[in-house]
Copies of this chain bind each other. A is one copy, B any other.
Amino acid sequence: MITLHHLLASRSFRIVWLLEEIAVPFELKQYARVDGRAPQEFKKLSPLGKSPVLTDGDLTLFESGAIVEYLVRKYARQMKPSEGEEKALLQYDYWMHDSEGSMMPFLWAVFFLDTGAQKTPFFMRFIIDLFVKGIRSQYLDPEIQSMFKYTDDHLAKNTYFAGDNLSGADIMMSFPLTVAYKRKGSEFEGKYLHIERWLRLIEGRPAYQAALAKVEDKDQFELNLPSH
């Protein structure tokens, strides 16, 4: 029996979606955050206490990319291109690693600095805002725009991330793209039309809707983008 431990408002929604896509029965345990962090109960599940944690029989797995590789290998081979499909396989590997290896660190840094600045006492606020604005404008924001442009160009030529079929790479990429549009809507909306087309495509899948129906934090992942 598979159990997915889902920390609300975290990376793990995409694993709920993947489990619905591959139609494997699973139990979903949901954990509310305490002061924005994982509760003690969640931290006992794995040595690092980070979301998501998946158990399958005796196995306990964490690290999103590794969980996707495991579920795809064991239950849904069709969600990874075979070695005969070299081009699709190269795309799969690229986006599987790009999601947490390149895209997320930059989005996370922005979120993290903005949150840190908001928590700063009023008397320090002006200087901290200058510092954060400097880092964002000189470094983070141009990198993010450049990655979104590259992603958009890729989706202009491909239905899904690894070609014509939904794959693990779409599952991995769904988190950074969804949260970017939800949390920073005005910075992105209308700029990357192929990303928006892909977001509407995944949101329209029955398995995505089934996953949304199960989670308590559905408004984090429900997009309702204009259809243009």
Contacts and interface: CB of A to CB of B under 8 A. Distances in A.
A131 B124 contact: yes
A158 interface: no
Interface in A96-148: 96-98, 100-102, 104-105, 108-109, 112, 116, 120, 124, 127-128, 130-131, 134-135, 146-147
A94 interface: yes
Most B CB contacts (10 A, CB to CB) among A62, A127, A130 go to A127
Contact of A102 (B63, B83, B98, B134): B63
Nearest to A101: B100
Nearest to A69: B93
Grouping DSSP codes into helix (H, G, I), strand (E, B) and loop, the A interface class, with mixed when no group exceeds half, is helix
A100 to B, nearest CB: 3
Interface string A79-94: 0000100000010011
Contact of A65 (B59, B96, B104): B96
Contacts of A150: 47-48
27 contacts: A47-B146, A48-B146, A48-B150, A49-B146, A50-B102, A63-B101, A65-B96, A65-B97, A66-B93, A66-B96, A66-B97, A69-B93, A73-B83, A100-B101, A101-B101, A105-B105, A105-B109, A112-B135, A116-B131, A116-B135, A120-B131, A124-B127, A124-B131, A127-B127, A128-B128, A128-B131, A131-B131
